[in-house]
Amino acid sequence: MSEQIVNITVFGKRYSFKTDANQMIAGEAPAHLQKEIERTQKLFTDHAISGKNEAVLLQAALNMAGENLELRNKYTELVQYLHTRTRNILSLLEKIGMDSNIREENL
């Protein structure tokens, strides 16, 4: 995987970063961050914290980290569920195979 340059402008200041992420993710990540910053800024306009760029950035980062953890937990649950279902299906298939072998032996 080749390095990508990611550019993002936050509060009027442009930042560039190198990343190993694929091109699609490298393009989507800054847009996702910018969208979360804008959403967070709108929430802060009704509070005394408005205008505090660091607070907005921290809240946006915490929001995104929370989303990430929630998705990881859901992914882990899904993998565990699929593992259990697969194990149950294999067990049933083995049972069916054994039953058919027993029937064949009795013929």
On the 0-12 / 13-18 / 19+ scale of CB atoms within 10 A, 77 is exposed
Write down the domain spans for the chain: 4-106
pTM score: 0.69
Give the amino acid at 80: Q
Kindly give the interhelix angle for 23-44 and 53-106, rounded to the nearest 10 degrees.
130
| pLDDT of res. 47 | 63
pLDDT in tens, 30-54: 899 999 999 998 887 766 555 688 8
